[in-house]
Structure 1
Amino acid sequence: MSLHSVRIEGTQVVVEYSKDLDTCGHLITPSYMVVHRINWYCDNGQNITIKAPLSDFTGVSAGVQLKLCHGNNYNICSNPVTVTEVEVPPITLHSVRIEGTQLVVEYSKTFFDTCAHLLTPPYTIVHRSNYYCAGGQNIIVKQPLSEFIGVQVGTQLKLCHGNNYNICSNLVSVGGQPPASSAWALTGGLAGQRQLHTLTLLKSGKALVAGGYNRPTEVYDPASGTWTTSGSLVTDHRYHTATLLDSGKVLVAGGEGTSSADSAELYDPASGTWSGTGSLVTNRSYHAAVLLTDGRVLVMGGTDAAGTVLASAEVYDPASGTWSATAAMQANRYLHTATRLANGKVLVTGGRDTSGVSLFSAEVFDPATGTWTAVGGMATARRYHTATLLGSGKVLVTGGYDDSTGISTSTELYDPATGAWSSGTAMRVNRYLHAAALLPGGKVLVAGGTTTGDPSSAELYTPGN
């Protein structure tokens, strides 16, 4: 028999040998002391490798002389070898891959005192729970892809000590294939970080982002997946609304800013410029607006300059450039959404009430009668979310902030035919204070917002059947 090598690798002993005997071999010192507690050296053949925990050996350390002997006759032994010790990195990330709807992480780590964190460079944690706590070699962890933030094929990741991000593994690119059932994919990022803005689909099929803490506006081209800078607003608008008019212009109304709570202005895509129009009846921010079938714009809810939560509503007439009051909602709310349904009615969802509590509730406005009617509530209370009418006639609600769970990736679908809600596919990135618009072809573009991931990110939703 031949003993090729014995080496210590972290918490393991690796023994390489060749033998052709009728019994197991014993690993012993020159003084015939057996150093292992279990018979591992029973296989015959060439260049056999055995890995076993260092804790299962007695007196084995770097520099010790060992030989492999016949289990029943210690006069039949191999050549002696000196034990060596190989420095093992405290943590090694072997692979990260997407398998269907799961993320599979394979790693080794030598420390047991704390969990490890999976990060994108330099120090952004991409998982929501501590999955990498076990120590040892070639550990495999499988978790739902939805539990990870911003992870897709090609993302660079590393695994770091939970209490010291200076102790990290090698970088690994995420492999595998995106899940076939996934409906989201990243697209080009905005020119700059942005929140408290609006996103409006133009008649050209492009999308306009306006407001927030940025006066310059940006236009997204779905054909190229890129953004370009357009004209600047007349005044600052945050927590405002932006509505596409039948003329192709965009009406921005109210919101916080230098003096914009009751101001409104129009964007002309042909020239890329902004101009003022009539002021609202009530100054309001955190409200919602929607284009009615007759070309007017309905605005409802929000808060006034004194911070009072409003149920009031008013209508803008593009022909005269003026505003007039209409029936108030059943509930006072702000940070809600308003979506015109295929039947011409308007669905209002969520928001916050006068106590500051997020709302599950929804109600519908009928322009024909000028009345509001309560409908079924959402499964999740949310504010700072979006609601987009799909080609199917259903309404997609995305993200937002939930008082109990925080920033959300969840989505829900409202079916006007049944008045019922159902859960939708979760987004890749959790976000609120974001914006969304339906693109030609039926996809939904979601962009920006506040998130634990990349605030300049954008993603696309493809509706199912």
Structure 2
Amino acid sequence: MASRMTGVFTPTGSMLEPRYFHNAVRIADLGVLVIAGEGALEALGSRFDQVAPGTTGCASTTRTMASAEFYHQASGQWSMVAPLPFPRSASGAVVLQSGIVLLTAGSESGQSISDVQLYNVSTHRWTPTGPLHTPRFGHTSTLLASGNVLVVGGNNLQSGGGQVQDSVECYDPLTGHWQRKAWLPVDAMNHTATLLSTGEVLVVGGYSGMQNAALPRAFLYDPTTHRWTERRPLPAPRMQHTATLLADGQVLICGGADEPFGPAQALAFIYDPVLDSWDQTAMCVPRKEHSATRLATGEVLVVGASSLSQPEQAATAELYDPRSAQWSLTAPLQPGRFGHGACCLSTGQVLIAGGSRATPHPAPLANAELFTLT
């Protein structure tokens, strides 16, 4: 019989500004850099493909942020660092092989941008680098084995309306420039992109503006040939889900919605790249706008949810054990949240920072907690 995993959440220093839909990236064993995001907002009606990812079917006027702050792992405290040149949310962020943080595009004042910035942790400065050819938010940014960064999909939202993208671009840190690559076979935002152990990138699901639907489709991108290959589709459409690479090379797809504006789903799927097959499992709680973080031990911690009908689900967290293929609830969060940042620290703990309470009018949080597996 599989042992039941447990864990605890303990308070740590609160961020200096409440925020959600921000970027959070771990910087070696120093701590976590939190970037921009959104503050308080008011809801207005609009089409889904014209709004920021994570909303409940309404456009929004937000206090988009330019500030950035750093969580110091050793002290458990936060400090402000250099702000971005201008505000943004729904950006992509990766740490390059050099240790520099690459922040791609996003949404500013309700419109997509193409701006790309580099953050130097040593000098605490942002510097611009080559912009994307196509503005976008709700895209994915994936660090390839070569050190280049692959950006896929997203939404080019401008004053005339939104256009979900099938365009793909690749960034070369040595030149600071982007090159267009083979287009994704379908337009997608709110999808996932996972670097496999083979060096290929698995893109799963998302929202298609052309079809006005969540997608079940899955594709592999080969960085050596720059070609896309369609793989066996998901058993059900998914958007706003998470994807986590497991230690054995398989990929865990958790939660999300199976239709635009749809309720969160409890089903999870495990993809085997070798067999091109999917297995199905079920989480304890339906989730979307949650986080999924692989622990140093190989288990996956899934945190939060955005259900307005059952806001208590936002305070739940659960663990997936790949060895037993079992899910188990762990200690609750205080308070519940969605749209937060989650990073596994070098200590093995997971930092959960910010997010929003699951309320009709999102309330951004500054609170931060550490999860420790016990």
Distance in 2 (alpha carbons) for counterparts of 1:217 and 1:385: 26
Q: 2:90 maps to which residue? A: 196
**Counterpart residue type for residue 223 of structure 2:** P
Aligned residue for 1:408, secondary structure, equals helix
Distance in 2 (alpha carbons) for counterparts of 1:446 and 1:363: 24
Q: 2:302 aligned to 388, 397, 407, which one?
A: 397
Does the 8 Å contact 2:88/2:106 carry over to 1? Answer: yes
Distance in 1 (alpha carbons) for counterparts of 2:350 and 2:101: 11
Distance in 1 (alpha carbons) for counterparts of 2:178 and 2:197: 24
Q: Name the CA shift for 1:444/1:257 in 2 (closer, same or farther; >3 Å).
A: farther
Q: Name the CA shift for 1:277/1:238 in 2 (closer, same or farther; >3 Å).
A: same
Structure (1 or 2) with the larger CA radius of gyration: 1
Does the 8 Å contact 1:185/1:460 carry over to 2? Answer: no
**Counterpart residue type for residue 219 of structure 2:** E
Distance in 1 (alpha carbons) for counterparts of 2:152 and 2:245: 18
Structure 1 position 255 matched with structure 2 position 154: yes
Q: 1:332 maps to which residue? A: 237
Q: Aligned ranges for residues 86-125 of structure 1 at < 5 Å?
A: none
Task: Render the CA deviation track for 1:205-264: whole Å, top value 9, x for unaligned.
Answer: 45433332053344556678x563443332222222121111111111011115551011
Q: 2:181 maps to which residue? A: 277
Q: Aligned ranges for residues 284-323 of structure 1 at < 5 Å?
A: 284-304=188-208, 305-323=210-228
Q: Name the CA shift for 1:372/1:440 in 2 (closer, same or farther; >3 Å).
A: same
Distance in 1 (alpha carbons) for counterparts of 2:150 and 2:343: 16
Q: Name the CA shift for 1:439/1:445 in 2 (closer, same or farther; >3 Å).
A: same
Aligned residue for 1:401, secondary structure, equals coil
Structure 1 position 212 matched with structure 2 position 125: no
Distance in 1 (alpha carbons) for counterparts of 2:122 and 2:333: 22
Q: Aligned ranges for residues 164-175 of structure 1 at < 5 Å?
A: none
Q: 1:96 maps to which residue? A: none
By how many angstroms is 1:286 displaced? 1.6
Distance in 1 (alpha carbons) for counterparts of 2:198 and 2:255: 26
- How many percent identity over aligned positions? 33
Does the 8 Å contact 2:285/2:313 carry over to 1? Answer: no
Q: Gapped runs of 5+ residues in structure 2? A: 1-8, 19-74, 108-112, 158-162
Q: 1:237 maps to which residue? A: 136
Does the 8 Å contact 1:434/1:446 carry over to 2? Answer: yes
Q: 1:369 maps to which residue? A: 275
**Counterpart residue type for residue 332 of structure 1:** P
The count of residues paired between Structure 1 and Structure 2 equals: 289
**Counterpart residue type for residue 262 of structure 1:** D
Q: Which has the higher strand share?
A: 2
User: With structure 1 as the length reference, what TM-score do the two structures score?
Assistant: 0.53
Give the RMSD, CA atoms, in angstroms. 3.9
By how many angstroms is 1:359 displaced? 0.7
Task: Render the CA deviation track for 1:264-298: whole Å, top value 9, x for unaligned.
Answer: 11223344443322110111122111111111111
Q: 1:164 maps to which residue? A: none
Distance in 2 (alpha carbons) for counterparts of 1:428 and 1:212: 29
User: With structure 2 as the length reference, what TM-score do the two structures score?
Assistant: 0.65
**Counterpart residue type for residue 268 of structure 2:** A
Q: Name the CA shift for 1:101/1:285 in 2 (closer, same or farther; >3 Å).
A: closer
Q: 2:31 maps to which residue? A: none
Does the 8 Å contact 2:270/2:278 carry over to 1? Answer: yes
Q: 1:344 maps to which residue? A: 249
Distance in 2 (alpha carbons) for counterparts of 1:240 and 1:382: 20
Does the 8 Å contact 2:263/2:307 carry over to 1? Answer: no
Distance in 2 (alpha carbons) for counterparts of 1:271 and 1:437: 29
Q: 2:126 maps to which residue? A: 228
Structure 1 position 416 matched with structure 2 position 322: yes
Q: Name the CA shift for 1:309/1:242 in 2 (closer, same or farther; >3 Å).
A: same
Q: 1:266 maps to which residue? A: 170
Distance in 2 (alpha carbons) for counterparts of 1:429 and 1:193: 27
